[in-house]
Structure 1
C-alpha cells in the first residue's frame, strides 16, 4: 500500500509534472490579470492603501485566474492538439492527464472564490466568480460558433480592474472604475483579432471562429480593430477627466493609445501577416505600458 501511495504521489508531484501544472495556469495571462486587478485596487483606494487587504485580493485573484486558465486548457485540449502554437501545452503533449488538470483547475477556482469572499469581500468574490463563468461558460464554447466571441471574451478580460476596485471599496458604480473597464475592453478586441489574423490558419484547422465570417480581405476585421482603437482615445482621456490621474498619465496614456492606433491603421492599409504581427506586438506592449504609467503617475501625485 505504501509503495502504491508513493507511486501515485510521484506521478502528481515530480518536477516535470509541477512544471506542467505551472504552465497550465498560463503565467503570462495570469500576471496580466493580477496587474489589472491591482491597478483597480490602487485607484479605488484613492491614496489610502490597505496593504493587507491588497495582498489578500492578489492571492485570491491569482488562485481563481490560474484555475480559470487551467480549466480553459482542459476544455480545449483536443483542439489545442490540432494547432501548432498549442501542441506543446501540458495536455496535448501528455505532460499531465485530463483528470489531473480538471482536479487542479477546479481546486484553484473553488479555493480562489472562497478566499475572495471570506478574506476580501463578497462583491469582489462575486465579480471573480462572474469572470470565470463568462470566460468558461460563454467565451470558450462561443469560440467555435462565431467571431462575436471576441466581444464576449473582452468582458471577463476587462473585469479584473473592476474586481480590484470592488476589493478596495466594497462597491461599484464609480465613473473611474468603468473607465478602466473600457480601456481594457477596447484594448482586448484588437489584441485578440491581431493574434487571430496571425494564427488564422491554425484557428481554422482547429474549428475556431476568431475572425468575422466571409471576410477574407479583412474589411470587417479592420473596421472592428480601428473602431476600438479610435474609441480607446476618449476612454484614456476619461480616466484623467474624472480626476483619478494626472498629467503624467494623460501624456503617457494618450501617447500609448495613439501609437497603438498607428499600428492598427498600418494594418488597415496593408493586411499582411507581417503588419498583423506588428499590431499584435504593439498590443503586448500597450497594456503593461499604461499600467506602469498609471503607477508612476500615482507615485508623483
Structure 2
C-alpha cells in the first residue's frame, strides 16, 4: 500500500476501522455457522444441555468462523477487486492493508482452535479446524480451477452442526449429526448455484468457475440443483425415523422442502435471472426456517 493510502488509514475514525475488520469476518455467514452449530449442539445434547459448554462452543466457533471468512477475503482480495459485488470489500478497496488482514484472520482461527480444545473438547476443535482447512485450502483455490468447487465447498459449509454435536458429545460417530450435515449439504449446492447463475458475468470476469462447464442454457445447473433439493426429503424423513426429531419437524421440514423444490422447478422451466433470484431467496429462507422447525419440535417435545 502506498504512503497516501497509509495516511488515509491513519486519519480514518476508529469506528470505521472496527467496522471494516468486522466486515472482513463475513458476519452474515458467521452467524449462519453459529446457528447451525447451535442446532447440532442442542440435538446432540438430548435432554441434558450443558449451557456452560454451549457458551464456550459458541465463542470458539465464532472465532474460527470469523477468521475463516476473513482469511478467505485475504486470499481472494485480487479477484474480489475484479467483481462489482466484492470490489468495495475492505481488502480490495485497500481500507485494510493485506498483511494486517492476514494476521487478523490467522489470529482468529488459531485462537478459536485452542479455545475449543481447552474449553470444550479436542474433537470439536478438530472438526472446526478441518472445516477451515477444507474451505481455505481446497474450496477457495478450486474456484479458479473447476466448478466441482461447489460440491467441495458444500462440505465445510455443512460441517457446523457436526461441530456442534461434537461439542456436546465429544464424538463424530452418531448418525444424527451426519443427517444434519446432509440437510446443509443438499441445501448449499442449489443455494450457491442460484447465486452463481445470477452473478455469472461477474464471476467470469474474475476467472472464477462457479457454474458447470459449457452450460450456457443452464441444464446442468438445473440437474444438480434438483438432485440436491430432492435429497432434502429422505434426509428429513430419516431424522424422524431415527427418533432424532418428531412429527412437528417432519411436517414442517417436508413443507419447506416442497417450497424450495417448487422454486427450483420454476427456475428449470424458465432459466432467467429473475427465476434464479427467486430460487436464491427460497434457499435463503429455507435454512433458517428449517432450523426454527428443529427448535420448535425440540422444545415442544420437552
* TM tier, smaller: over 0.9
Whole-Å Cα distance in 2 between the matches of residues 250 and 13 of structure 1? Answer: 50
In the other structure, the counterpart of 1:287 is 287
Task: State the Cα deviation string for residues 128-184 of structure 1 (Å, max 9, x = none).
Answer: 110000000000000000000000000000000000000000111211111100000
In the other structure, the counterpart of 1:128 is 128
In the other structure, the counterpart of 1:189 is 189
Task: State the Cα deviation string for residues 90-142 of structure 1 (Å, max 9, x = none).
Answer: 11112211111111101000100000111100000000110000000000000
SS of 1:100's equivalent in the other structure is helix
Report deviation, 1:13: 8.2
Q: TM-score, normalised by structure 2?
A: 0.95
Report deviation, 1:25: 0.5
SS of 2:139's equivalent in the other structure is helix
- Over 3 Å counting, the alpha-carbon distance change for 1:24 and 1:213 in structure 2 is same
In the other structure, the counterpart of 1:201 is 201
Whole-Å Cα distance in 2 between the matches of residues 69 and 12 of structure 1? Answer: 24
Whole-Å Cα distance in 2 between the matches of residues 18 and 10 of structure 1? Answer: 13
Q: Within 5 Å, which residues of 2 pair with 1:181-260? A: 181-260=181-260
Task: State the Cα deviation string for residues 216-238 of structure 1 (Å, max 9, x = none).
Answer: 01111110000111111111111
SS of 2:85's equivalent in the other structure is coil
In the other structure, the counterpart of 2:119 is 119
Q: Which runs of 5+ in 2 are unaligned?
A: 1-6
Whole-Å Cα distance in 2 between the matches of residues 14 and 211 of structure 1? Answer: 40
Q: Within 5 Å, which residues of 2 pair with 1:19-38? A: 19-38=19-38
Q: Within 5 Å, which residues of 2 pair with 1:1-301? A: 14-301=14-301
User: How many pairs were matched up?
Assistant: 294
Question: 8 Å contact 1:116–1:124 — kept in the other structure?
Answer: yes
Q: TM-score, normalised by structure 1?
A: 0.96
Question: 8 Å contact 1:11–1:17 — kept in the other structure?
Answer: no
Q: Which moved more, 1:291-300 or 1:136-145?
A: 291-300
SS of 2:208's equivalent in the other structure is coil
- Over 3 Å counting, the alpha-carbon distance change for 1:246 and 1:141 in structure 2 is same
What do you get for the CA RMSD once the two structures are aligned? 1.3
Question: 8 Å contact 1:12–1:18 — kept in the other structure?
Answer: no
Whole-Å Cα distance in 2 between the matches of residues 94 and 41 of structure 1? Answer: 38
Report deviation, 1:88: 1.1
Report deviation, 1:29: 0.3
Q: Which runs of 5+ in 1 are unaligned?
A: 1-6
Report deviation, 1:188: 0.3
Whole-Å Cα distance in 1 between the matches of residues 12 and 273 of structure 2? Answer: 41
Whole-Å Cα distance in 2 between the matches of residues 102 and 297 of structure 1? Answer: 42
